[in-house]
Amino acid sequence: MKISSFWMDTLRGMVIGIANIIPGVSGGTMMVSMGIYDRLIHAITHLFSEFKKSMKLLIPIFLGVILSLALLAKLFSYLLANWPIATNLGFCGLILGSVPSIFQNVKHKGFNKSYGICFALFFVVIILFAALNEVSGNDVVLKVNFFNLIMLFIVGVISAATMVIPGVSGSMILMLMGYYQPVINLISDAISALVHFNLPEIGRCVALGLPFGIGVILGIFGIAKLIEWIMNKWKLQTYWGILGLIIASPIAILMNTSWASFSIIQLLIGLVACAAGWYAAGKLSA
């Protein structure tokens, strides 16, 4: 049975949401992997001029992101804690499975020094980000005061920008800034407060979440405009840079994987998950 485009885009949104939860995994990479990156950037930057067309794509994508945050964050936290190798190999398969479709954008277009520099530069950047991820600072304590609200807005802008850029993990940047666990806890607290209708806790979560949310929205719009401009001026260089980011991403993920739980069973499950991820990448590609 064929899945409607609305529910297929919702599934893609869930994949993007899950990727943005997991440190080291890039939501932007998943957008490229599933063949919706260009369309999504276009929908964001032309939201007002092509409102109906843009919302047709954005609504299911954002619905999927919200569903993944609400329903699957705890599941993937469990899988990463108990089956880190298998889970991360599954993501590696999902990313690498997208390379053939992305390569179609540069195939038969020739190759020159600028393409090679873009590929190498962005490949190295992702590996450096992965190395930096091993040195994260102490988590901040979120309190409702002027300084925290301003910082949450700034962190929202930064994290949104990095979540849209392929190969860069927004959650990894949050972790380096000491805001990853506090933001995850804030989302969990907000869901819990809504379920139990705890008004004081709902108020606290809204007060802290609102500046972060506004920052995220502004960050997404700002970086989308920049990316669209870059794509229009240097399209092939951009795609070669994205290929560098994509190919480096599995290496970065495996660099930040906990190998303490290594076993033959976990490796075999991981290889199956990797193959399943590769297959899923093909199915989710537009």
* Residue 134 pLDDT class (50, 70, 90 cuts): low
* Residue 203 pLDDT class (50, 70, 90 cuts): very high
Give the number of domains in the chain: 1
Averaged pLDDT, 210-217: 90
Q: What are phi and psi of 141, to 5 degrees?
A: -105, 120
Question: For position 167, what pLDDT does the model report?
Answer: 62
**More confident position, 165 or 46:** 46
Tokens at 52, concatenated: 């109906």
* Averaged pLDDT of the chain: 82
Neighbours of 178 (CB within 10 A): 15
| pTM above threshold 0.85 | no
CB 270 within 8 A of CB 54: no
**More confident position, 2 or 39:** 39
CA 139 to chain centre: 21
Question: For position 214, what pLDDT does the model report?
Answer: 93
Question: For position 1, what pLDDT does the model report?
Answer: 46
Report the percent of the chain where pLDDT is more than 70.
90
Averaged pLDDT, 141-148: 82
Domain range enclosing 170: 5-284
Between CA 19 and CA 199 the distance in angstroms is: 31
CA 34 to chain centre: 12
Report CA-CA distances (Å) from 183 to 164, 189, 215.
18, 10, 13
Question: For position 20, what pLDDT does the model report?
Answer: 79
* Residue 285 pLDDT class (50, 70, 90 cuts): low
Report CA-CA distances (Å) from 206 to 28, 45, 54.
27, 27, 27
**More confident position, 270 or 239:** 270
Model confidence over 11-56: pLDDT tens digits?
889 888 887 777 656 788 778 778 788 888 889 888 888 999 999 9
